[in-house]
């Protein structure tokens, strides 16, 4: 069988407003994950290991932070003479329509480039999810089903109202698609991994635009169009998947990494690739006490750290206590400070020996010291036994 020409499109333009201060000064796709990686590393590593080498990244919000990390695609072997990484910056069209109002609008603005590239298939991904998936398995499902669109799906054990909920028949054909419904018909959701027949995708965009629709989010227009007018199949993903769109899910995903129930980021057969900073190993002083934690290179620990992720260049002074926390790059925790269930943004200076955080919510400390707390703490995401 001839290998089809696949274009990988990574949608990396969202603001990530539900993450509060974590995305005030950075694009969500470059949010740190696991102390060492960036969120977009997940999508790009999955593409690299799936041997998809034509990859376009569509940007909009704060693209400078993303461009600095992408490094011309070098960490993912995408800095090629032919193909490789192509960055599509935000732009205002000649029609004066302003910047894109959503991901369907952003995709529609690139359709002429897609036509010129002339792929057989378009693989569209979001850059804010944590999972590992061989996209060639998705290709097999797409080929065998004869679908115009194949979407990766997974079952969630939480309220599905913040996702796109999918209904299927016994043959795996998608028969219903409800975008963020108030009353979800089930807990099978779309992972925001979509494999389109390229000709069908371009037809859909042309028809939606010609129909005068205000193109916005693909859950509101593009995907319902396919379910109504074309054959749509599901590819069921049985492994780990997490949407890191909220502070709660961001914190939970890190604790799951520590407990071995989260994403497998250290699989030697499927490593997550990234542009890592060149730093000395972490320095652990004699006064330090560390258990069930990850400590990144360049960190310096003199205090007590339990069940936490400590980012590069972070300093924890003697007498400080860190428990169930995620501290990003260059955080400083002063003597006597006690943190519990805290996410601290890069560069935060947390001093003045007092307690921050509670056992009933996730607390965010911004780089400027500003404190905010989740109002909808998910009680189903409880801490593991023994903590």
Share of the chain above pLDDT 70, in %: 91
Report the chain's mean pLDDT, rounded to a whole number.
Answer: 88
Cα distance between residue 13 and residue 178, in whole Å: 23
The residue that leads in pLDDT, 64 or 111, is: 111
Overall average pLDDT of the 147-173 stretch: 93
Contact 223, 124 (CB under 8 A): no
| pLDDT band (50, 70, 90) for residue 381 | very low
| pLDDT band (50, 70, 90) for residue 99 | low
| pLDDT band (50, 70, 90) for residue 380 | very low
Contact 59, 90 (CB under 8 A): yes
pLDDT of residue 376: 37
Q: Per-residue pLDDT for 17 more than 50?
A: yes
Token pair belonging to 4:
């089809």
Helical spans, DSSP H, in the chain: 40-49, 63-70, 103-108, 111-117, 135-145, 198-210, 222-229, 247-259
pLDDT of residue 1: 55
Q: Per-residue pLDDT for 93 more than 80?
A: no
CA 42 from chain centre, in angstroms, equals 7
Q: Per-residue pLDDT for 360 more than 50?
A: yes
Token pair belonging to 147:
């679908």
Q: CB atoms < 10 A from the CB of 53, how many?
A: 18
CA distances from 111 to 104, 105, 114, 115, 347 (A): 11, 10, 5, 6, 40
| pLDDT band (50, 70, 90) for residue 330 | very high
Q: Per-residue pLDDT for 320 more than 80?
A: yes
| pLDDT band (50, 70, 90) for residue 383 | very low
Please report the domains of the chain, with CATH numbers, ordered by start residue. Answer: 6-259 (3.90.550.10), 283-373 (2.160.10.10)
pLDDT of residue 332: 97
Q: Per-residue pLDDT for 242 more than 70?
A: yes
pLDDT of residue 169: 92
Q: CB atoms < 10 A from the CB of 74, how many?
A: 13
| pLDDT band (50, 70, 90) for residue 15 | low
Token pair belonging to 107:
């995709």
**What is the sign of the dihedral through the CA atoms of 265, 269, 274 and 280?**
positive
Overall average pLDDT of the 108-113 stretch: 90
The residue that leads in pLDDT, 101 or 169, is: 169
Angle value at C-alpha 70, between 40 and 21, nearest 5 degrees: 55
């Amino acid at each position: 069988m001839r290998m089809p020409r696949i274009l990988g499109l990574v949608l990396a333009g969202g603001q990530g407003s539900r993450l509060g201060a974590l995305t005030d000064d950075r694009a969500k796709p470059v949010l740190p994950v696991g102390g060492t990686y960036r969120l977009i590393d997940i999508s790009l590593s999955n593409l690299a290991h799936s041997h998809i080498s034509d990859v376009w990244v569509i940007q909009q919000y704060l693209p400078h932070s993303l461009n600095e990390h992408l490094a011309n695609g070098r960490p993912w072997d995408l800095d090629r003479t032919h193909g490789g990484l192509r960055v599509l910056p935000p732009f205002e069209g000649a029609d004066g329509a302003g910047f894109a109002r959503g991901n369907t609008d952003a995709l529609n603005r690139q359709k002429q480039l897609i036509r010129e590239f002339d792929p057989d298939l378009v693989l569209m991904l979001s850059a804010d999810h944590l999972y590992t998936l061989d996209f060639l398995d998705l290709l097999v499902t797409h080929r065998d089903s004869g679908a115009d669109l194949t979407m990766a799906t997974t079952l969630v054990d939480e309220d599905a109202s913040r996702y796109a909920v999918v209904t299927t028949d016994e043959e795996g054909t998608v028969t219903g698609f409800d975008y963020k419904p108030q009353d979800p018909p089930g807990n099978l959701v779309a992972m925001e991994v979509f494999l389109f027949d390229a000709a069908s995708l371009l037809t859909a965009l042309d028809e939606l635009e010609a129909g005068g629709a205000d193109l916005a989010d693909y859950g509101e227009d593009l995907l319902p169009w396919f379910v109504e007018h074309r054959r749509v199949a599901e590819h069921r993903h049985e492994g780990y998947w997490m949407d890191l769109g909220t502070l709660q899910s961001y914190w939970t995903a890190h604790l799951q990494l520590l407990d071995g129930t989260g994403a497998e980021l250290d699989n030697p057969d499927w490593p997550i690739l990234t542009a890592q900073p060149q730093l000395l190993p972490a320095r652990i002083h004699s006064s330090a006490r560390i258990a069930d934690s990850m400590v990144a290179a360049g960190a310096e620990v003199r205090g007590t750290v339990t069940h936490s992720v400590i980012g590069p260049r972070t300093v924890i002074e003697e007498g400080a206590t860190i428990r169930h926390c995620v501290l990003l790059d260059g955080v400083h925790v002063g003597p006597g400070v006690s943190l519990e269930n805290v996410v601290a943004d890069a560069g935060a200076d947390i001093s003045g020996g007092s307690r921050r955080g509670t056992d009933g919510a996730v607390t965010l400390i911004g780089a400027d010291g500003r404190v905010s707390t989740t109002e909808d703490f998910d009680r189903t995401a409880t801490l593991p036994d023994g903590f």
